[in-house]
Amino acid sequence: MRYVSTRGDAAPIDFMDALFAGLASDGGLYVPQSWPRLSSEEIAAYAGRPYAEVAADILTRFVGDALSPDELAVICAQAYATFDHVAVAPLVQIDDSRFLLELFHGPTLAFKDIAMQVLARLYEHGLEKRDRELTIVCATSGDTGGAAVEAFAGRRNIKIVALYPEGRISEVQRRFMTTSAHANVRAVAVAGDFDDCQALLKGLFKDAAFVDEIGLSLVNSINIARVIAQIVYYFTAGVALGAPSRRLSFAVPTGNFGDAYAGWAAHRMGLPIERIVVATNVNDIVARALQSGVYRRGTAVATQSPSMDIQVASNFERLFYDCAGGDAGLTAAAFRDFAAGGEIRLGPNLLAAAQRMFSACAVDQAETDRGMADAWRDTAMLVDPHTAVALVGARKAVDAAAVPMVVLSTAHAAKFPDAVMAATGRFPPAPASVLARAALGERIDHLPAEASALKAYLRDFTASAP
């Protein structure tokens, strides 16, 4: 298996190099040269198998000879032993045709744990084999940073810095980043929004000498390994509901589009998905693009679903590339224009290719509140604002109503207690992991949204003792 850049000017590389690089040297995102295809028999054979076994089988198709099947099986078993539910990603039926896919049973109560617990072990394993050290920088809109800190804290040959937008995430989200006592971890509050954090991160990779100097890598959903690990729960949910002989749809709350793109990848691998409903909050760049064909950057607005407060959805570049038939030249030109002018017009053929699988809607704050309130009234379940956005999106998606609809529940309600209380009149019970961090002191560094300040900070950190 080889990985190529969506922009075509970086040489194809293997899985471990794509894992360590994160972003391609030409500014593009890595994608598999071809997606592995599973037969109906292979998909059906996942039914009833432990999540870790399914994960190992799917990941084996992407890693090539970088790891043996036995090594990968151990990594997946260790990663998912950290979850508090035996199914890892259990399905809960909420009415005749809708199901919640609970993706928040990991150590930091968010779906990011599902990929991050695997990635940390892949990094550690690969770095030891290659006798290398890396500095990972992670830009987060809320949950990625906590999941990355939890997964990478204390690991050998790795330092990790989590950048988050100051004042724009929940206290619980912040504490999952800022309460680690491990020396290889730093949490940095950036004076700006998530798009500023993500732009800083991408800007670092434009300086090849700096990348080499500090051994820079990233674990945002820009990293293809994150997407690959997230493909797994689409398959486990699918077979639990009768795939491959039964089709199904998914509703996905999205910001950076990585989770929704993982569903697209599962479809390309053979999972019979009827429709993927992309639900955004008022930061609706993806919804507008999939509805109108115009991908136009706006100004990020702070909401009660902060992980979706994004106006540059990085993984949309991967979908553009796929829908353009793998035309790297067209993709590179489009995203150069976007960087310069903040807009891409998809064109009728590319838009039609995306709309064959995706529909999209934006959900405002009042609708999100009603989504949380309705879930409590109808099911006695407290859901977080991101899940509420997906529930509202699923209800709006009349074109997907003929098959079972799986709604991705991406975070535990306890990560957003104030928003849940305001909508439902009830505080979600705090799990032990939240209570433990509430009693710990925080370590936070502060930076302006300036590349020079971040580079100086990273140089100092990488020069410090491990």
Report, as residue numbers or ranges, the catalytic residues: 112
Q: What is the 3-state secondary structure (H, E, C) of 144-211?
A: HHHHHHHHHCCCCCEEEEEEEECCCCCHHHHHHHHCCCCCCEEEEEEECCHHHHHHHHHHHCCCHHHH
Helices 112-130/224-240 angle, 10° precision? 130
Alpha-carbon distances, residue 226 vs 63, 116, 178, 221, 230 (angstroms): 13, 7, 22, 5, 6
Any idea of the CA torsion for 452, 147, 239, 36, to the nearest 10 degrees?
Answer: 30
3-state SS of 289-348 is HHHHCEEECCCCCCCCCHHHCCCCCCCHHHHHHHHCCCCHHHHHHHHHHHHHHCEEECCH
Rounded CA separation 151/303 (Å): 27
Closest CA to 29 of 221, 192, 307, 164: 221
Q: Measuring CA to CA, which residue among 144, 316, 112, 152 is closest to residue 233?
A: 112
Question: Is the omega angle on the peptide bond into residue 165 within 30 degrees of 0, that is, cis?
Answer: no
Query: How many CA within 13 A on the CB side of residue 224?
Result: 31
Q: Distance (Å, rounded) from C-alpha 29 to C-alpha 227? A: 11
**98-102 vs 91-93, strand pairing mode:** antiparallel
